[in-house]
Amino acid sequence: MLPQNAEVSSRRLLPRMDYNTTEKIMEQNTIPYYAHEGIVARMERTIRRLWILCIILIILLAGTNAAWIYYENSFEDVVVTQENCWAVLTLI
């Protein structure tokens, strides 16, 4: 025997959703204001830490790029002048 306010599903009985049952569910899911304040404070701290992490990562990225540029510029450059131009061209 099915309850009067239930619909048959392939897996289980589902209660019909109307305004009264939705309102009851909302009343059951409310949390106290101090708990909400605690959650918001925790999220603010987490967001602040994530911003700090993003700034640190950007600074580290710029630092590693500068280190690679310095490393690549430390190699000796070959300057071709008119005097050794023919020697370079014969090597190619």
pLDDT in tens, 7-65: 444 555 555 655 566 666 666 667 777 788 988 999 999 999 999 999 999 999 999 99
Domain-embedded: residue 79 = yes
Domain-embedded: residue 51 = yes
Domain-embedded: residue 60 = yes
What φ, ψ does residue 7 adopt, rounded to 5°?
Answer: -115, 145
Distance CA 18, CA 21 (A): 6
Residue 84 binned pLDDT confidence (cut-offs 50, 70, 90)? low
Domain-embedded: residue 18 = yes
Domain-embedded: residue 55 = yes
CA 74 to chain centre: 36
Domain count, the chain: 1
Please give the model's pTM, rounded to 2 decimal places. Answer: 0.49
At 75 the pLDDT is 78
At 76 the pLDDT is 72
Structural domain of 22: 6-91
At 44 the pLDDT is 96
Domain-embedded: residue 61 = yes
Domain-embedded: residue 1 = no
